[in-house]
A and B are shown apart, each in its own frame.
Chain A
């Protein structure tokens, strides 16, 4: 579609034709202005593709920025809370960035593609913030979301599938590593990254090669070697909660879009203390975060397991059954692999400590009749799901 096109609300990614072919439901939604499948077949079949075979997801709508120039590293180090100077070439790291008040603007991943050449992947549109932040740095920032066709290939057989599809060198690729390689004859960059908490890879090519990359992967399925399924956003939501990944704009309100005071969140309030580093040069928000680190924590986005089998959808949380309100569930799912009800919840801390007891008031319906149930919730520190195969190198061929 041309930029002048006003007849279609959502733009199509380079994989659109293939997605449409695979979609039995034609159930689409918008993601950063692109038409994206919500569900293509059923959530159950797509979910188990991630957890027990191989899933493919179109990552193109993810915001991407190419950052180059002599100050690229210094600029990124000023932008994000963690120390980017330690990120070696061909490595990837997760990061968040804040405004001057130390409130999180967005999160994403930084790819050190080649020495001095970085790609920042973000949830939301960031060009304005990156440009504002770049004042004084000799750096070039290019939004290249449209110029990169990206696929996420995840699941226990993803290594075997991609190897069968002709990608060489995967056996040596460690988690958060990058290789520039080929799939068949098509040049492609592969990173061992993902949003599922499982073994998985992300493939980065050019839009003109999109069909070639896609077809190389699905030829493996046609040969009957492995089951490979395309997944949509509904499945991604389940597996990312299981993996304990947060979603800015969904689990919390991003700083740039916050209108009401106190509706934004700091990295501490998101449980991201581990990527706030004060032993590095000044970064945006540092002063506010130093101050905050010395105060008792007011609240936190936490992981909860709710007892029973009812999912605490947007539930209010209390410090006891029928107690005082202490928070809200921001995201939730039933976990088929854990047979548990999982939630990401924004809860108030008391004197810097999480509440002793957390109860969810869950509304659910059966045959259109609404019921309410109380479920005790348990705080979880580690991700709900993380399989050893995620980090084993070389991965076991399946």
Chain B
């Protein structure tokens, strides 16, 4: 049956109601366009979603913390008034196998004393490390809300952008420039070992560099991924992370509220089967139901593989794009457990009243254990001794569990896309048990408190959210797939290979994480092509 929408000829149609699709749509609607977002699921949000799977508990089913989301977008879309609150997370802890722990206290002086407890030298080295990391953060942050230049183009805009890029580099001394190139290409393990000596401290700092990647702590290129986890900020505190009140779904619902307030329309339960192309121009979409919806501009918020290999016809594409899409690195490597708890688990290693459970908890205390966790993944197994980023947001947020009860989110690295024989329920449960057993080693009452567990392997992430291989970044964050190389050289300015077709997903610059930047940057290009007023915000700037 063919359904007819409010109108069948939209100015713009966005495929996928993830946070980038909604952000893109909101800026287009803000410019006065007639916009439709179609979403295959019955709910919006994509991987920025909160769902109630056990009565009374709400999970941030996929993404779970917020830092990279651009404050410029938050302000421009008035997300505060549309219900978004991001509360800073306080510190974290790495539990050690010898019964001790490293406490990453949020207060500078207490943290300093704690580092010195493990290594006096590391406590001082962290000053050098922080300043160096901030240099690279400052550099990269300036590119987040900008369309990457095409270095091969002679268009005045690209030349100007390239000039901006060079000027940014010019702000670095010659030796800093060399350091930056090293940073971009080194492994996080080797990079951190140039600063620190304490194994637990090294492990604590390096975890963020392998989250979401098919790389290990000693794989070249992982140092940059650290930046991807450190360049965000909560109210100007670069590097800090926050909880979205009500879970990450609050981010999507606030953007959606802003979008519909500008007159935008969303259709859920509407899976796209094809982007229609006629005479080298995108004309609209065909839904799985057979319904055709026409639009002047079609924007894909799907990852690059799904966009070019799944919803576009090969005959409509240059073979270069098909080949690039086939080669696009988008390896699934992460799993997730969302756990409903009857109470707050004890962690006896911590002193009574310790604030450390309020932040990120990890149970991997050396780079060697991290690398072994990666070895398992390379052999197509989930890590027997995984790295996790574990948080209990209900300590801050009373809206996600019944009073006195708690919700734990456990991000798990590594988990394979397709273990031998494929995923089945038994294997999924065994993966979940591995993670739960690890946490239980440090929390004796943890298992007794479990009311419900949602276990997600890359298979579920792909099936439910539509992320190819369940890759949370919609493509590896390695230099070959960053800036003007993302997703492919020549296509980094959000314009697709056919006219009137655009991309706005995290497969595009500046990449994954709940940032909103690809959505906003793409909207800017669309509005430019349509000769409409630019409604997207300018970078606030760090200087």
The docked-state distance in angstroms from the alpha carbon of A260 to that of B171 is: 7
Nearest chain A CB to B351 CB, angstrom units: 6
From B103, B122, B135, B173, contact of A6 by CB (8 A)? B103
B427 within 8 Å of A (CB atoms): no
- Contact A143 B109, beta carbon cutoff 8 Å: no
Which residues of chain A are within 8 angstroms of B122 by Cβ–Cβ distance? 128
- Contact A260 B543, beta carbon cutoff 8 Å: yes
- A:131-160 near B, CB below 8 Å: 131, 143
Nearest chain B CB to A57 CB, angstrom units: 21
Question: Chain A interface: which of B110-118, B250-258, B326-334, B468-476?
Answer: B110-118
The docked-state distance in angstroms from the alpha carbon of A21 to that of B408 is: 47
- Contact B128 A128, beta carbon cutoff 8 Å: yes
A223 within 8 Å of B (CB atoms): no
Which residues of chain B are within 8 angstroms of A143 by Cβ–Cβ distance? 120
Which residues of chain A are within 8 angstroms of B103 by Cβ–Cβ distance? 6
B355 within 8 Å of A (CB atoms): yes
Question: Chain B interface: which of A85-93, A251-259, A329-337?
Answer: A251-259
The docked-state distance in angstroms from the alpha carbon of A7 to that of B114 is: 12
Which residues of chain B are within 8 angstroms of A11 by Cβ–Cβ distance? 109, 113
- Contact B110 A9, beta carbon cutoff 8 Å: yes
The winner among B105, B112, B125, B356 for most chain A CB atoms within 10 A is: B125
- Contact B109 A127, beta carbon cutoff 8 Å: no
- Contact B110 A261, beta carbon cutoff 8 Å: no
The docked-state distance in angstroms from the alpha carbon of A30 to that of B543 is: 27
A66 within 8 Å of B (CB atoms): no
- Contact A6 B351, beta carbon cutoff 8 Å: yes
- Contact A6 B128, beta carbon cutoff 8 Å: no
- Contact B110 A6, beta carbon cutoff 8 Å: yes
B133, closest chain A residue (CB): A259
A10 within 8 Å of B (CB atoms): yes
Nearest chain A CB to B7 CB, angstrom units: 51
Which residues of chain A are within 8 angstroms of B116 by Cβ–Cβ distance? 3
A4 within 8 Å of B (CB atoms): yes
Q: Chain A 112-128 against B: per-residue CB contact (8 Å), 1 yes, 0 no? A: 00000000000011111
- Contact B121 A3, beta carbon cutoff 8 Å: no
Nearest chain B CB to A11 CB, angstrom units: 7
- Contact B131 A256, beta carbon cutoff 8 Å: yes
- Contact A131 B121, beta carbon cutoff 8 Å: yes
From A33, A126, A129, A260, contact of B113 by CB (8 A)? A33
Nearest chain A CB to B118 CB, angstrom units: 10
- Contact A10 B109, beta carbon cutoff 8 Å: yes
The verdict on A125 contacting B123 (CB below 8 Å), with A4-B351, A6-B351, A6-B355 known, is yes
Which residues of chain A are within 8 angstroms of B134 by Cβ–Cβ distance? 259
Which residues of chain A are within 8 angstroms of B192 by Cβ–Cβ distance? none
- A:5-39 near B, CB below 8 Å: 5-7, 9-11, 30, 33
B52 within 8 Å of A (CB atoms): no
A171 within 8 Å of B (CB atoms): no
The docked-state distance in angstroms from the alpha carbon of A261 to that of B167 is: 12
The docked-state distance in angstroms from the alpha carbon of A128 to that of B176 is: 20
Nearest chain B CB to A127 CB, angstrom units: 4
B124 within 8 Å of A (CB atoms): yes
Which residues of chain A are within 8 angstroms of B531 by Cβ–Cβ distance? none
- Contact B173 A259, beta carbon cutoff 8 Å: no
Which residues of chain B are within 8 angstroms of A131 by Cβ–Cβ distance? 121
The docked-state distance in angstroms from the alpha carbon of A100 to that of B109 is: 29
Which residues of chain B are within 8 angstroms of A7 by Cβ–Cβ distance? 353
Which residues of chain B are within 8 angstroms of A227 by Cβ–Cβ distance? none
Nearest chain B CB to A203 CB, angstrom units: 25
- Contact B171 A127, beta carbon cutoff 8 Å: no
A101 within 8 Å of B (CB atoms): yes
B175 within 8 Å of A (CB atoms): yes
B172 within 8 Å of A (CB atoms): yes
- Contact A125 B354, beta carbon cutoff 8 Å: no
B127 within 8 Å of A (CB atoms): yes
Nearest chain B CB to A378 CB, angstrom units: 33
B353, closest chain A residue (CB): A7
- Contact B127 A261, beta carbon cutoff 8 Å: no
- Contact B124 A101, beta carbon cutoff 8 Å: no
From A101, A129, A261, contact of B171 by CB (8 A)? A261
B6 within 8 Å of A (CB atoms): no
The winner among B103, B124, B131 for most chain A CB atoms within 10 A is: B124
B405 within 8 Å of A (CB atoms): no
The docked-state distance in angstroms from the alpha carbon of A385 to that of B353 is: 51
From A100, A101, A125, contact of B127 by CB (8 A)? A125
Nearest chain A CB to B12 CB, angstrom units: 40
Q: Chain A 219-263 against B: per-residue CB contact (8 Å), 1 yes, 0 no? A: 000000000000000000000000000000000000011111100
B130, closest chain A residue (CB): A257
- A:81-108 near B, CB below 8 Å: 100-101
The docked-state distance in angstroms from the alpha carbon of A362 to that of B421 is: 76
From B107, B125, B354, B543, contact of A9 by CB (8 A)? B107
B452 within 8 Å of A (CB atoms): no
The verdict on A128 contacting B109 (CB below 8 Å), with A3-B114, A3-B116, A261-B171 known, is no
- A:247-284 near B, CB below 8 Å: 256-261
- Contact B113 A128, beta carbon cutoff 8 Å: no
The docked-state distance in angstroms from the alpha carbon of A259 to that of B172 is: 9
Which residues of chain A are within 8 angstroms of B182 by Cβ–Cβ distance? none
- Contact A125 B124, beta carbon cutoff 8 Å: yes
B126, closest chain A residue (CB): A128
- Contact B173 A128, beta carbon cutoff 8 Å: no
- B:94-114 near A, CB below 8 Å: 103, 105, 107, 109-110, 112-114
Q: Chain A 338-355 against B: per-residue CB contact (8 Å), 1 yes, 0 no? A: 000000000000000000
The docked-state distance in angstroms from the alpha carbon of A27 to that of B179 is: 43
The docked-state distance in angstroms from the alpha carbon of A41 to that of B135 is: 42
Nearest chain A CB to B200 CB, angstrom units: 15
Nearest chain B CB to A332 CB, angstrom units: 25
The docked-state distance in angstroms from the alpha carbon of A100 to that of B127 is: 18
- Contact A258 B105, beta carbon cutoff 8 Å: no
- B:141-182 near A, CB below 8 Å: 171-173, 175-176
The docked-state distance in angstroms from the alpha carbon of A101 to that of B124 is: 20
B296 within 8 Å of A (CB atoms): no
Which residues of chain B are within 8 angstroms of A6 by Cβ–Cβ distance? 103, 105, 110, 114, 351, 354-356
Which residues of chain B are within 8 angstroms of A10 by Cβ–Cβ distance? 109
B138 within 8 Å of A (CB atoms): yes
Q: Can you show 15 pairs from A to B with CB atoms below 8 A apart?
A: A5-B113, A6-B356, A10-B109, A11-B109, A33-B113, A128-B121, A128-B127, A128-B128, A129-B124, A129-B128, A256-B127, A256-B128, A257-B131, A259-B134, A260-B138
Query: Which residues of A are in contact with B by a Cβ distance under 8 Å?
Result: 3-7, 9-11, 30, 33, 100-101, 124-129, 131, 143, 256-261
List the 9 closest pairs (A to B, CB-CB), nearest first: A128-B124, A128-B125, A127-B124, A125-B124, A3-B117, A33-B109, A259-B134, A257-B131, A259-B135
